[in-house]
Amino acid sequence: MRPEPETAPLWQGGWLQSARRVASPNFGPRPVGADIDLIVLHSISLPPGVYGGPEVEQLFTNRLDWDAHPYFQQIRGMEVSSHFFIRRCGELVQFVDADARAWHAGRSAWRGRDNCNDDSIGIELEGLEGDTFEPAQYRTLQDLCVQLALRYPITHIAGHEHIAPGRKNDPGPGFDWAQLQQSLRWAHACFPECTRLTASAATRTTPAQPPTA
Ligand SMILES: [Zn+2]
């Protein structure tokens, strides 16, 4: 199902050339032989619900002023990262080489394997659990997923809420999984079972084109 990796000039190693690069120190090596087959979607904004500021990039690069907002006390000292961040305007930022292990998932399990940081790509959407996301973000996300699948053997895409149920709730109910599924046209099995038929998708009739393998 994957095109040949050597036909992906948009990549320089694990760095996507179309992304604005903001290098994070929060990463490490993946286990030898890691099969990078999972994309994990998140949502984040700092302070929560405030969009457009530099705080997320500051958090992922250990430059956030913990005293700048009361909420930051809850995350003081956290050293975290994500490979990618998609801003409300659709801008794509990359913090960590996708060949490396970013620190976004925490305690987690999916498709029968735990420690999802080992073998996943983390994508943060600027947003808030329960809030909706911008059309520009879906467009960037779709492009990014396609480009990731050119370089990595992606067979699964899930939310943080799916790989860490009860502990995490992002990206949350405002994220339109049906829209992503329909735009990517990846096999239904790539997506969490609970997202395969949302209310919006269930009201649609059978698609004219069957999903591709
Ligand atoms: Zn998350």
How much is the pLDDT for 9? 75
Distance 169 CA to ligand 1 centre (A): 7
Distance 207 CA to ligand 1 centre (A): 31
- The answer to whether 27 and 101 are in contact (CB under 8 A) is yes
**pLDDT digits 0-9 by tens, 168-208:** 999 999 999 999 999 999 999 999 999 875 445 444 444 44
Average pLDDT, the chain: 91
How much is the pLDDT for 197? 58
Selection from 46, 140, 43 nearest residue 90 by Cα = 140
Q: Which are the catalytic amino acids?
A: 124
- Give the chain as a 3 state SS string: CCCCHHHCCCEECCEECCCEECCCCCEECCCCCCCCCEEEEEEECCCCCCCCCCHHHHHHCCCCCCCCCHHHHHHCCCCCCCCEEECCCCCEEECCCCCCEECCCCCCEECCEECHHHHEEEEEEECCCCCCCCHHHHHHHHHHHHHHHHHCCCCEEEEHHHHCCCCCCCCCCCCCHHHHHHHHCCCHHHCCHHHCCCHHHHCCCCCCCCCCC
Residue with tokens 């983390």: 122
Average pLDDT over residues 28-45: 98
Distance 23 CA to ligand 1 centre (A): 19
Distance 187 CA to ligand 1 centre (A): 24
Distance 8 CA to ligand 1 centre (A): 28
